[in-house]
Structures are given as structure tokens and as C-alpha cells.
């Protein structure tokens, strides 16, 4: 059984975040771009502001040996003009396929529903991301809609999964 810990992002995480946000293989699949050093610093500031504004955002994901293995969180976003709370995560390549994505997604959904009382969460992915689709479907998420998304000038089909909070009335 894999175990994880989540902790808030801080400026001391710059080098770890740079290793993720500047990794073409990880970033081009989900985010459609890689970040410059200045953009990584700006991203950290944006995440810290979201903690203040909403009480949640991305977190650093650590394994049982306290190694930073990825990032994950629930973030406010707009999809085709509609506001959503989106489940999003990136696991470093060497830790993929070990169950961390599923454990992380389960933890993030629990926090979203029990701690933050969100009525629903969504996740948007490219259809060819089979591993993430399997994670989302294990959580009980189902396809809500699909659309063509402009990611930094590249138009790609995205599938949006949705999960309702069973604790909401």
C-alpha cells in the first residue's frame, strides 16, 4: 500500500517545481506548455494566493520516504465560460504506475468534499491519457462533456469528467 503526504507549496520548492514544470514529457501532455524560471516563480505565488483566496490549491505530494513525487490539488478554473473546481495532478515519471495517482486523487476528492464542502469536482484530460482516465473512473467519475481546448495555440480535444459530492443535499 502506497502512502502519501500533502503539504503546501512554498518558495523553497522552486527547484522541485522547476523539475516538473519544465519537463516537456509531463507538461506537454496535460498543460500544453513548459514554464520558464520566471513562470515557475509566478506559479508559486499564484498557488499561495489561492490558499488565501479559497483555502485550497495545489500541494506538493510526498511519498512515505518524504520524497517529493509530484503535485496535486483542486483548483478553481473556467471551462467554456463556466466555473468549476478541477482535480489536477502530475506525478513524476519514475513514480508513475505505482498507485500514487489513485491514492492522490482519492485524497484530493475527500478533501474537496469533506473539508471544503464543494458540490462537485471535475477533471479534464486529453482522451489518449488512458492512465488518468482509469484513475478518474476508479473514483466513480464519469464523462460530463468534451470540447476543443486551446492550449497555448494548440487546439486539442479534452474530455471533462465530473463527480458530484454525495454529502451535498
Please say if the pLDDT value at position 115 is more than 90. yes
Domain ranges of the chain: 4-164
Among residues 87, 94, 44, 90, the alpha carbon closest in space to that of 70 is found at 90
| CB-neighbour burial class of residue 83 (10 A; exposed 0-12, middle 13-18, buried 19+) | exposed
| List of residues 6+ apart from 78 with CB closer than 8 A | 84
Query: pLDDT class for 163, splitting at 50, 70, 90?
Result: very high
- What value does the mean pLDDT take over residues 113-123? 97
Q: Average pLDDT of the chain?
A: 92
Query: pLDDT class for 169, splitting at 50, 70, 90?
Result: low
Give domain 4-164's CATH number out of 1.10.10.350, 2.40.50.100, 3.40.30.10, 3.40.630.30.
3.40.630.30
Amino acid at each position: 500500500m502506497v502512502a502519501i503526504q500533502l503539504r503546501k507549496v512554498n518558495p523553497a520548492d522552486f527547484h522541485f517545481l522547476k523539475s516538473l514544470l519544465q519537463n516537456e514529457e509531463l507538461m506537454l501532455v496535460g498543460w500544453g506548455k513548459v514554464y520558464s524560471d520566471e513562470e515557475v516563480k509566478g506559479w508559486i505565488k499564484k498557488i499561495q494566493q489561492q490558499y488565501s483566496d479559497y483555502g485550497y490549491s495545489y500541494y506538493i505530494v510526498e511519498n512515505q520516504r518524504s520524497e517529493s513525487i509530484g503535485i496535486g490539488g483542486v483548483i478553481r478554473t473556467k471551462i467554456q465560460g463556466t466555473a468549476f473546481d478541477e482535480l489536477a495532478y502530475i506525478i513524476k515519471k519514475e513514480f508513475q504506475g505505482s498507485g500514487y495517482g489513485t491514492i492522490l486523487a482519492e485524497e484530493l476528492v475527500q478533501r474537496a468534499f469533506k473539508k471544503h464542502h464543494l458540490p462537485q469536482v471535475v477533471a479534464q484530460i486529453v482522451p489518449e491519457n488512458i492512465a488518468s482516465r482509469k484513475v478518474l473512473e476508479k473514483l466513480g467519475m464519469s464523462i460530463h462533456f468534451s470540447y476543443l481546448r486551446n492550449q497555448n495555440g494548440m487546439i486539442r480535444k479534452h474530455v471533462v469528467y465530473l463527480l458530484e459530492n454525495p454529502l451535498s443535499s
